[in-house]
Amino acid sequence: MGKEGKNERRAIEKADEERYGITSDEKEDFIDERTEYRNAFDKALEEQTVTDALTGLKNRKFLVNELENSLPFIRGEIEEHRRRGVEQLKEAALLFIDLDNFKKVNDTFGHTEGDTVLKKVAEILTGSVRKSDIVARFGGDEFYIFLSSANKDKAIEIANEICENLRNDPKLHERTVTASIGVRPIDASNVADSETLIKQADVAVYKAKEGKNQVLVYEEGMKMLDSDV
């Protein structure tokens, strides 16, 4: 920077000092702090768009995005293992947890008590899976869990454990709240797009609701009434 440029910059800094009562260094610190605050605000705002306000769990948007991001990887694993002649493939699973008798809680004890039950369920679900798994509330009394690395047997084991944990909780037992769970295993032979996987987990839980408080695995050919899945 030439002499004229330095003089011009100094003149601007002096004018700022007189106008705002702060030095150039203080102004830079202020700008840095404001930028840091803005970044934190944007991050918090983004977090709100993928978080369920009541339970603090992730929401449908987040889970679907994570599911979609994982499926190409699974498909890539399929091709890689086939080339290498390896039979064992990467597996995952989607669980649909639908609460039994929850409407009765709202009707009998009110929505405040219903919210308390939902928070307790969220706590139990989170404590029943690994940190790498995604627990999400889709709305109402419907929850989904994406098990990013679990075969069919492991997914069934986790689903049954969730049923037991919910059934044995004193608060939920008092309100006769249990859960029906649909399991949709995902592997090389049956990988599909995210919306199809969600619908098929829905099919399984629909069948599980016929008996309530049980786990049912989706199988090809299962259909809901008026469903084209």
| Lowest mean per-residue pLDDT among 62-71, 126-135, 218-227 | 218-227
Contact 94, 145 (CB under 8 A): yes
* CA distances from residue 137 to 33, 58, 104, 179 in whole angstroms, order as listed: 35, 6, 19, 14
Q: Please state, for a pLDDT cut of 90, what percent of the chain lies above it.
A: 59
Sequence-ordered list of residues with C-beta below 8 angstroms from that of 8, at least 6 positions apart, any chain: none
Euclidean distance between CA atoms 47 and 43, whole angstroms: 6
Q: How confident is the model at residue 70 (pLDDT cuts 50, 70, 90)?
A: confident
Q: CA 2 → CA 5, 6, 8, 9, 75, distances in Å? A: 5, 6, 10, 11, 60
- The pLDDT value given to residue 198: 95
Please write the tens of the pLDDT for every residue from 6-62: 566 666 666 666 665 666 666 565 555 656 655 554 454 455 688 999 999 999 999
Burial of 106 (0-12, 13-18, 19+ CB in 10 A): middle
**pLDDT of 87:** 41
Tokens representing 191 are 């990988």
Residue 100 or residue 189, greater confidence: 100
Compute CA 42 distance to the chain's CA centroid, rounded to the nearest angstrom.
Answer: 20
- Lookup: tokens for 109: 């004890």
Mean pLDDT of the 147-155 span: 92
Selection from 151, 162, 137, 150 nearest residue 63 by Cα: 137
> Tell me: the pLDDT tens digits for 133-145?
999 999 999 999 9
Looking at the chain, the whole-number percentage of residues with pLDDT higher than 70 is 70
The 3-state secondary structure of 101-148 reads CHHHHHHHHCHHHHHHHHHHHHHHHHHHCCCCCEEEEEECCEEEEEEC
Q: Which residue out of 141, 187, 193, 226 is catalytically annotated?
A: 141
pLDDT digits (tens, 9 = 90+) for 89-99: 478 999 999 99
Instruction: Give yes or no for residue 175 having a pLDDT over 90.
Output: yes
d(CA 94, CA 147): 6
Q: Is the per-residue pLDDT at 152 higher than 60? A: yes
Q: What integer pLDDT is reported at residue 228 of this predicted model?
A: 41
Q: Is the pLDDT of residue 207 over 80?
A: yes
Contact 216, 163 (CB under 8 A): no
Using CA atoms in the order 221, 202, 127, 44, what is the torsion angle rounded to 10 degrees? 130
Buried b (16+ CB within 10 A) or exposed e, 156-175: bebbeebbebbeebeebeeb
* Cβ-contact 182, 205 below 8 angstroms: yes
Q: Is 42 a catalytic residue?
A: no
- Length of the chain in terms of residues written: 229
Asked if residue 213 has pLDDT above 70, the reply is yes
**pLDDT for 105 beyond 50:** yes
Asked whether 169 and 125 are in contact (CB, 8 A), the reply is no
What pLDDT, on the 0 to 100 scale, is given for residue 229? 36
